[in-house]
Structure 1
Amino acid sequence: MDTSAVRGQGRRRRRIHSAEFKAHIVATCCQPGVSSAAVALANGINANLVRRWVKEAEVSTEMDSAAKAPETPMQAKAATPKFLPVPMPTPAAPPVAADIRIELQRGATAVTVTWPASAAGECAAWMRELLR
């Protein structure tokens, strides 16, 4: 686009694009494999502007289709997403260990300690003291 004519006029004016031009750009962007940034670059306009036109076209299409076809109760049910309860199996209780068994070996000496699982905290404290 030649902007040399615009420079001499002083203040830069906002460009106004026709509805046909916008429709052409939106239709081009909606083709598979076409980048809206590439379409914008090829036509000398900002990519954000092209994205806004595409978004506005999508919204107006949704509004037109909603206004034209009144929904029947079956269509309303089909269109409304619903959350369905999914039965979850109850988690199995973890196996209860009757005892904590610790085997220690130093050289030829082997020691086996059996500690009740209900006193696991005391067992941990004993192990910390032992390993100091």
Structure 2
Amino acid sequence: MTSEKKDKRRQYSVAMKAQVVAACGEPGASVAKVAMAHGINANVVHRWRQLAREGKVATPAKTGEFIALPLAVPAVSAAAPADIRVELRRGSVTMNITWPASAAVDFAAWTRELLR
């Protein structure tokens, strides 16, 4: 009995292999999870990692380094902070509550009691 279907192994680019091997090297990464995320058998990924350790496969240089960028600090106005505004709805009844932001702790306590 012969089959019309020919089994063909999937081919992966060197860049794809390097990307998967690099993902496995991240802290907390699981080879099985990385392989599953890429739709590859974990045994294949283990083999790629072995080849990379032996220096038989090119591994990418780390490019994900942290770069600190200065951010503009927004100007803080000297005006009083905005009030806390809440709108409660239940059926056809709507209640608007305005609470001073300076008493946010009191508002949190009131909200906790309201939601009990």
Name the TM-score class by shorter chain.
0.3 to 0.5
TM-score w.r.t. the length of structure 2 is 0.43
TM-score w.r.t. the length of structure 1 is 0.38
Larger Rg: 1 or 2?
A: 1
More helix by share: 1
Q: Which has the higher contact order (CA 8 A, sep 6+)?
A: 2
